[in-house]
């Protein structure tokens, strides 16, 4: 059974700091890994999707890496801003049978002005 773990559960940083969020998963049989952002009371916004054959993806100040063999991914946020404050969720799309997204519990990020 696939399990996804995110560390830390919460993170508070001053504005302008670079930061890393971590995600690990137990089964390497995945199609892709996705990072989402969730604002309070809102749905999920997809930030980056890394296919299982890829090593990283970049979008603006965000960079996500994937090491499938070790079951790890990181989300790097450069020059953090108060508007980055949200919960960040990592999810893997499992292979075999039904292709389902399995989520971690998320990291709640607060960027202080």
Partner 1 sequence: EAGVAQSPRYKIIEKRQSVAFWCNPISGHATLYWYQQILGQGPKLLIQFQNNGVVDDSQLPKDRFSAERLKGVDSTLKIQPAKLEDSAVYLCASSRDRAETQYFGPGTRLLVL
Query: Where do contacts with partner 1 occur on this chain (CB under 8 A)?
Result: 4, 31, 34, 36, 41-46, 49, 89, 91, 93, 97-106
Q: Whose Cβ is closer to partner 1: residue 12's or residue 18's?
A: 12
Minimal distance, residue 8 CB to partner 1, in Å:
14
Q: Beta strand pairing status for 107-112 and 86-94? A: antiparallel
Minimal distance, residue 38 CB to partner 1, in Å:
9
Minimal distance, residue 49 CB to partner 1, in Å:
6
**How many angstroms separate the CA atoms of 37 and 32, rounded?**
17
**How many angstroms separate the CA atoms of 38 and 72, rounded?**
21
* DSSP assignment letter at 95: -
**How many angstroms separate the CA atoms of 81 and 62, rounded?**
12
Q: Whose Cβ is closer to partner 1: residue 18's or residue 51's?
A: 51
Minimal distance, residue 16 CB to partner 1, in Å:
29
Q: Whose Cβ is closer to partner 1: residue 17's or residue 88's?
A: 88
Q: Whose Cβ is closer to partner 1: residue 21's or residue 81's?
A: 21
**What DSSP string describes 55-84?**
SEEEETTEEEEEETTTTEEEEEE-S--GGG
């Amino acid at each position: 059974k696939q399990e996804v773990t995110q560390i830390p559960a919460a993170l508070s940083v001053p504005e302008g700091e670079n930061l890393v969020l971590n995600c690990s998963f137990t089964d390497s049989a995945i199609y892709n890994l996705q990072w989402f952002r969730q604002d309070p009371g809102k749905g999920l916004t997809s930030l980056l999707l890394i296919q299982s054959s890829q090593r990283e993806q970049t979008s603006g100040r965000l960079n996500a890496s994937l090491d499938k063999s070790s079951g790890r991914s990181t989300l790097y946020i450069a020059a953090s801003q108060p508007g980055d404050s949200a919960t960040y969720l990592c999810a893997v799309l499992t292979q075999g049978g039904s292709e389902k997204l399995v989520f971690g519990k998320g990291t709640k990020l607060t960027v202080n002005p």
